[in-house]
Amino acid sequence: MEKILSEGDTAGAEKLIHDDYQFLMHSTGKTLGKKDVVSWIGMKDVKKDKVRVLFENDEVGFEHAMVTFNDGNKEAVMTYYKYKDGKVVHQETGATKLSQ
């Protein structure tokens, strides 16, 4: 997922993200579907640093990263991934805004 995100690889995102995918962003309360996220990945809006996978198995994954967006905003982001059929089917993030 990190490589796909950093490269803006929409074809890779299409393969990795399940058709039933939902992305819940706790910081905004928005829920995005697969089409929305694949498009967003193509924009290369997110740059992650200090990525740490805290836990991962065949069912779930937890990650923490420092994230910088193209508009200059920075956040510390905790991400929860749920997997189905070897793909990401659900994702939730909680974010803490950081000073620019």
CATH fold, domain 2-98, is Nuclear Transport Factor 2; Chain: A, (3.10.450)
Q: What is the mean pLDDT of each run of 10 residues along the chain (100 residues)?
A: 91 97 88 96 94 97 96 95 97 92
* Model confidence pTM above 0.95: no
Q: What are phi and psi of 99, to 5 degrees?
A: -70, 145
What pLDDT is recorded for position 26? 84
Structure tokens at 69: 């967006």
What pLDDT is recorded for position 25? 84
Give rounded-to-5 percent helix, strand, coil for the chain: 20, 55, 20
| DSSP symbol at 26 | T
